[in-house]
């Protein structure tokens, strides 16, 4: 069973994604912000991270930068979620995948499966 870490500060989104991904056979771990997400990574290594861009405490860009600096975690693929276009991301914030909010379940599953298929984790 593949594990996905969902990092988002909006409870409704986390709950919805948890249900959808659980129904699709993923084990789901959740975090409220990037700092919480980094803590969760120490407890359990996911196969993929689904990461919101805009969050309090530590946003998605900062979490992605921390992952890139970590020899242990840099190979974990990250799918960033944001209402902004991907071209608006900083140059040093380039995730393996990207979902523009709002997205539908089919887009989510296609992007997760694409990123997982390309991953060497």
Query: Rg of the Cα trace of the chain?
Result: 13
Between strands 48-52 and 27-31, the pairing is unpaired
CA–CA dist 47, 117 (Å, integer): 11
The 10s digit of each residue's pLDDT in 3-32 is 999 999 999 999 999 999 999 999 999 999
Q: What is the dihedral of CA 18, 23, 26, 28, to 10 degrees?
A: 20
pTM, two decimals, is: 0.94
The 10s digit of each residue's pLDDT in 32-56 is 999 999 999 999 999 999 999 999 9
The domain locations on the chain are 3-118
CATH code that applies to domain 3-118: 3.40.50.2300
């Amino acid at each position: 069973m593949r594990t996905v870490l969902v990092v988002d500060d909006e409870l409704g989104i986390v709950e919805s994604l948890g249900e959808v991904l659980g129904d699709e056979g993923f084990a789901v771990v959740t975090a409220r912000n990037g700092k919480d997400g980094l803590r969760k990574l120490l407890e359990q290594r996911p196969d993929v991270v689904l990461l919101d861009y805009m969050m309090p405490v530590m946003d998605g860009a900062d979490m992605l930068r921390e992952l890139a600096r970590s020899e242990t975690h840099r190979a974990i693929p990250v799918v960033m979620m944001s209402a902004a276009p991907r071209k608006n991301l900083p140059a040093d914030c380039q995730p393996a995948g990207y979902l523009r909010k709002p997205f539908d379940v089919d887009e989510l599953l296609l992007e997760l499966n694409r990123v997982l298929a390309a991953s060497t984790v």
